[in-house]
Amino acid sequence: MHAISIPSPFKSSLIALLLALLIVGIESVENQNLFWGPLHDSAHAFAAYLCTALLISLLKSEQQTTGFRLAQIGGALFATGIAIELIQPALGRSASFTDIYYNFVGIVCALAVSASRQLNPVPKACVRVISLALLLSSLTVPAIGAATLSKRNQAIPSLLNFEDSWQRRLYRAGGSANLSLISKPKGWENASTALKVDFPTTKYPGVSVPHVFPDWRNYHFLKLSIFSKNQDTIALTIRIHDKKHNHSYDDRYNQRFEIQPGTNDIEIELSAVQHAPKARQMDMGEVTGLAMFAAQPEETFSLYFDDLRLE
């Protein structure tokens, strides 16, 4: 029984079509959450694979694709990928070593599949299975992101309680603040694990939640607990914005709270959040940012956060 041979022009056209669909599809996605952002990056592996396969297919009709020829193709494409990343800053974008890595994975997998045509059936199958596994491994980060978002959505109305390791992917430090998970500090009875934030004397140190659950429409309050060991009152600002935020101060919710020594239970009416922007109402179904920070503190201090929730 003979394998079906696909005509080279048709094969090249098919690869080119798949490559075009991949690029158009992934570039059309505006959502850069924990799934779509990493998927956009990992798509470089599949695009590089298709580019390599397309070039091999186009050159195959001219001469035999020997090992040296394959190495030339792979080297040229990899160098091109590096050059593209190096010029990104000139285009107002950031160069990414992650993209270079994914390009390398895609190119190597395509070269291995092409070279395996000269092997016997068993080694050929092994090479192709390994190549497929390596190519699919580029989806690990978006898969983890999708699982994190699923767990985040299932945890609602709790936004963060700092009990599970997956929650660490939802928040990050800002302004050189230091974040650490600790057991409840002495004197705070309602916390088991809390987030300790060490605030340095930078411009806006604190903690932000860029991957906060976005749909707050069915709730009336944002609540959280903050514990302070400081003897003095601490000024803390809570900021909330939506997807339409234009990055101006008047287009978001900003409220300063005086954090007293001991336990502080903060309650924010979501109606106030909705009407915070001066020129419009905030879209409570598309909340995309929550942050808690200090504005240029004169001294270093620490605060403990727990039980961020919607009610």
Q: Are residues 140 and 48 both part of a single domain? A: yes
pLDDT in tens, 91-129: 887 888 999 999 999 999 999 999 998 889 999 999 999
pLDDT at 145: 96
Average pLDDT over residues 163-186: 93
Q: Is 253 helix (H, G, I), strand (E, B) or coil?
A: strand
Write out the two tokens for 40. Answer: 């956009």
pTM for this entry: 0.84
Q: Are residues 196 and 73 both part of a single domain? A: no
Instruction: Give the residue among 144, 127, 112, 115 at the shortest CA–CA distance from 42.
Output: 144
Contacts of 109 (CB under 8 A, 6+ apart): 45, 49, 131, 132, 134, 135
Q: Are residues 294 and 181 both part of a single domain? A: yes
Domain carrying residue 122? 8-145
Q: Are residues 135 and 162 both part of a single domain? A: no
pLDDT at 5: 47
Whether 150 maps to a domain, the answer reads no
pLDDT in tens, 35-51: 988 998 999 999 999 98
**How many domains does the chain divide into?**
2
Cβ atoms of residues 221 and 159 within 8 Å: no
Cβ atoms of residues 239 and 252 within 8 Å: yes
pLDDT at 95: 81
pLDDT at 3: 47
Whether 2 maps to a domain, the answer reads no
Judged against a pLDDT cut of 90, whether residue 255 lies above it is answered with yes
Q: Grade residue 34 by pLDDT with cuts at 50, 70 and 90.
A: very high
pLDDT in tens, 43-76: 999 999 998 988 888 876 545 567 788 888 889 9
Q: Are residues 163 and 263 both part of a single domain? A: yes
pLDDT at 118: 85
Q: Are residues 132 and 171 both part of a single domain? A: no
Whether 194 maps to a domain, the answer reads yes
The maximal CA–CA distance of the chain, rounded, in angstroms, is 84
Measured distance CA(70)–CA(87) in Å, rounded: 26
Q: Grade residue 273 by pLDDT with cuts at 50, 70 and 90.
A: very high
Whether 85 maps to a domain, the answer reads yes
**Of 100-104, 191-195, 299-303, minimum mean pLDDT range:** 191-195
**Of 73-87, 138-152, 258-272, minimum mean pLDDT range:** 73-87
CATH at residue 214: 2.60.120.430
Q: Are residues 74 and 183 both part of a single domain? A: no
Quote the DSSP letter at residue 285. T
Q: What is the DSSP string of 111-147?
A: HHHHHGGGS-HHHHHHHHHHHHHHHHGGGHHHHHHHH
Supply φ then ψ for residue 210, to 5 degrees. -70, -15
Average pLDDT over residues 166-170: 97
Average pLDDT over residues 212-238: 96
Judged against a pLDDT cut of 90, whether residue 84 lies above it is answered with no
Instruction: Give the residue among 78, 77, 52 at the shortest CA–CA distance from 65.
Output: 52
Mean pLDDT of the chain: 90
Write out the two tokens for 101. Answer: 């890595």
pLDDT at 4: 45
Q: Are residues 163 and 118 both part of a single domain? A: no
Q: Are residues 302 and 178 both part of a single domain? A: yes
